[in-house]
Structure 1
Amino acid sequence: MRKSAFLLFSVISLLSCSSTKKTIQKETKAVLLNPFFENQFTGFLVIDAEKKDTIYSKNPTKYFTPASNTKIFTLFTALTMLPDSIPALKYIVRGDTLYMEGTGDPTFLHPDFSSQKTLDFLKTFKHISFYPNNFYDEKYGPGWSWGDYSYSYQPERTAFPIHGNTVSIYKEDSLNISPKFFRNGVVEIEFPKNREKNKNLFYFNPIRKDTLQIPFIADSTLIKELLGNVLDKKVQIVQKMPLGEKSVFYSIPKDTVLKKMMQESDNFLAEQLLVLASSTISDSLNINSVQDYILENHLSSLEQPPRWVDGSGLSRYNLFTPKSIVQVLDKLYSDLPKEELFNFLAVGGVSGTIENWYRGNPNPYVFAKTGTLSNNHCLSGYLTTNSGKTLIFSFMNNHYRQPTAEIKKRMQRILELLRDNY
């Protein structure tokens, strides 16, 4: 009798789950078949995080421009390859001289990171010799827009970033410039661009009220001067490191950088994190090498290998499928405690790039990464349902002409449907 009752309960549960899925699939399909979506390319995959059961699928194996959803792969790489604290530099000490080379650490003198252990470390040496030639990559990623060189979201990639590779300018009673080193290179004038293309000459509109951040052109001479300026000592450039085993100095906790990168969609941090990851497998810093390493050694099971060209998603050369993104999110879900993983992500209605969308009532239900370029918007991450289940999803929209806000409204309708009914 007890066995029969259990079997009956199991059958009823299966039928109920099947009915729920069919309802969700029917209503989701109705939204996506609306004429609104006719002239764009849409991909959507959502699975149950525990059962691995597919709840809805549309174009899951087609390739899309992911924009900043690329940072999900950067997050996976950093969590897989970097130690708990950021490797700040590699060095060898000879007498009272520190010979050093960069690892790509983006936090050195960055205005958003108060801890400056590396600076304190460098100050303990009488002489500093800097080796600048270990970066075997381009300062801009493949497919980046050349016209965006003066915008804050596209700083140069370097082996030894300093001050976030940007100049910060704002005006109160007088003009404030950080680092002050660039004071003589700032002109107060309204101008179409914030900086000359090929030199560090910056333009600032004197009636501007907010802070303007402008990438500077970084070369070895400038880095030497900026470093010498902050250390108040002469820094020498050397053409090679001394022979011998290099030590590594570590700066701030890795998780601090990952959280800012993911929640604020910080392109500079994303690019430099891949440079950092490459420093753990070679002294020659190269983003492609670490991407190949990750795909061959840790993500070889992806059914549709991505075209992955940068760390941030600035490039339209990137191509990812919803299924590949969901597979990586699933790996992260399996490897990390849920609370720790969700802490890296923007939270619907609460924080980051989705602070004004996907608001829960009363609790947050979307923990995800956005990805936006003109005419493209993607959202991938995790959704917690009212019944307590966790779903993994990737929602990708490419080549639309409607306002992005209208795309988000329809995405929100579908995500709320999943939240309320699964």
Structure 2
Amino acid sequence: MKPLLFGFMLASLLLGCASAKKNVQRTTDSVFASPFYDQQFTGVLILDAGTKDTLYARNSEKYFTPASNTKIFTLFAALQFLPDKIPALKYVTQNDTLYVEGTGDPSFLHPHFMDSTALNFLHGHRNISLHLDNFVENRYGPGWAWGDYQYYYQPERTAFPLYGNVVTLHNSESVKVVPTYLYDKVVPIDYTLRRELDRNLFYFGKTRKDTLEIPFKTDTTLIKTLLEDVLGKKLSLADRMPAGEKNVLYSLPSDSLYRRMMHKSDNMIAEQLLILASSTLSDTLDGGKVRDSVLSNQLADLEQPPRWVDGSGLSRYNLFTPESMVQVLSKLHEQVPEQRLFDIFPAGGVSGTLEDWYPGNPDPYIYAKTGTLGNVHCVSGYLVTNSGKTLIFSFMNNHYRHQSSEIKKRMQLIFETIRDTY
């Protein structure tokens, strides 16, 4: 190619990119110029994944309550520590007894995953002794709402989760209860509470036709009893594991947990993933150690280190900037093949929490995680333009008094303009 022709083509390309970038900035600025945004706090950062060029920035270095966008950091942490398959149990065999301790695996007896690896393993041993004292964090995260103990999205955190740490209730010809052991703890009346605060007494009216999930209050005795019930044999409790190297039993593919966490915004799985990751560091289960390790090592280069206090984003103590979100999303994009990464994230108009928003024309163009609390709505992830470019973005809205649907409409306008013009 002649130098003159090459130079002309390069100049045309650069001018076209500059024009597209200005169009993105102009359109986005016009949306934010509306009085709609006068009484709320909004932060945005949009980055070209290929060139690392910043297309748009607004309050991108300021801290926001991220809600479930926190799960992006949890996903990153899990990918750093966990293997391709989930460590389901740690165990030692001594004489005729199998000694077992939990790793925090949230999939054991979980109705969604239907994985029987750990259950079949335990069925194969006559004498089993459980060590259940290796989890050192509180059952609830810092800053969680105390009144939410009765709602499906705030189960307790444990070393040995069972059934997703919830009781599942459904009316057909009679009340169906899973786990069945808790059947006698269900009172068939309509009541303002779903469960008593300090005990496992549940309320589920006879006329209800929906399926209800209610977190149960966990303790050592209940975990042991539920396991005895499903295994059909008595178990013992151990004060400690025997000395010696522990074996690890692996179960289902890790990506199945990641997809469930991101698509359904599953708080229980998010919390347990950090606990599960800590099982690869030591025998003491502590999600805080994982957060500290990631921030001190893999994410030591963040321009605005976050306040990161849980795995799910339930806590309003969490504080993240759009820039730190984009930095982590960029690292994920560099470390994980794009097809696998986009499969883990919900797709706009197709799956998970994005099923009803940001539809493609016809193919999905948004792969992102939402985060919603009262007066908080954030979306962070990846946008694929019509020209084939992948963009990385974080769009965070705090302290608004509008309907969240109005927030989403304006974001969708910006996203579609970027998709069609950049």
Structure 2 SS opposite 1:239:
coil
Is 1:350 the counterpart of 2:344? The answer is no
Cα distance in 1 for residues equivalent to 2:337 and 2:238: 45
| Range 5-14 or range 45-54, more displaced | 5-14
Structural mapping, 1:382-401, within 5 Å: 382-401=382-401
Match of 2:74 in 1: 74
Per-residue CA distance 1:207-236 (angstroms, 9 max, x = gap): 111101000011001000000111111110
Quote the residue 2:257 is aligned against. Answer: 257
Give the Cα–Cα distance (whole angstroms) in 1 for the partners of residues 212 and 47 of structure 2.
42
Distance in 2 (CA, whole Å) between partners of 1:337 and 1:92 is 37
Please say if 1:368 is aligned against 2:368.
yes
Percent of aligned pairs sharing the same letter: 58
2:243 maps to which residue? 243
2:272 aligned residue? 272
Alpha-carbon offset, residue 95 of structure 1: 2.0
1:136-162 CA distance string (max 9 Å, x none): 000000000000000000000000001
Task: Name the SS of the counterpart of 2:344 in structure 1.
Answer: coil
* Residues 29-55 of structure 1 deviation map (CA, whole Å, 9 limit, x = unaligned): 010121001100000000101000000
2:418 is aligned to 418
Q: TM-score, normalised by structure 1?
A: 0.99
Q: Following the alignment from structure 2 to structure 1, what is the Cα–Cα distance between the partners of residues 40 and 116?
A: 47
The AA in structure 2 aligned to 1:304 is Q
Equivalent position of 2:125 in the other structure: 125
**1:5 CA displacement:** 1.7
| Distance across 2 between alignment mates of 1:180 and 1:65 | 39
Deviations for 1:253-307, whole angstroms, at most 9, x for unmatched residues? 1011111110110000000000000110011111111100111111111110110
Q: Counterpart of 2:40?
A: 40
Tell me which residue corresponds to 2:55.
55
- The reply to whether residue 313 of structure 1 matches residue 313 of structure 2 is yes
- Counterpart of 1:104 in structure 2 is 104
Letter paired with 2:112: D
> Over aligned residues, Cα RMSD in angstroms?
0.8
- 5+ long unaligned stretches in structure 2: none
1:293 corresponds to which letter in structure 2? S
Q: CA deviation at 1:115?
A: 1.7
> Residue type of the partner of 2:296?
E
| Residue identity matched to 1:315 | S
**2-structure distance, mates of 1:17, 1:178:** 57
How far apart, CA to CA, are the structure 1 residues paired with 2:223 and 2:19? 63
SS in 1 for 2:203: strand
Alignment of structure 1 residues 184-263 onto 2, 5 Å: 184-263=184-263
* Count of aligned pairs: 422
Greater mean alpha carbon deviation, residues 395-404 or residues 205-214: 205-214
* Paired letter, 1:184: D
In structure 1, stretches of 5+ residues that fail to align are: none
Q: How far did residue 7 of structure 1 move?
A: 1.2
Opposite residue 107 of structure 1, the aligned amino acid is S
Match of 1:7 in 2: 7
Correspondence list, 1:292-311, <5 A: 292-311=292-311
Residue in 1 that maps onto 2:115: 115
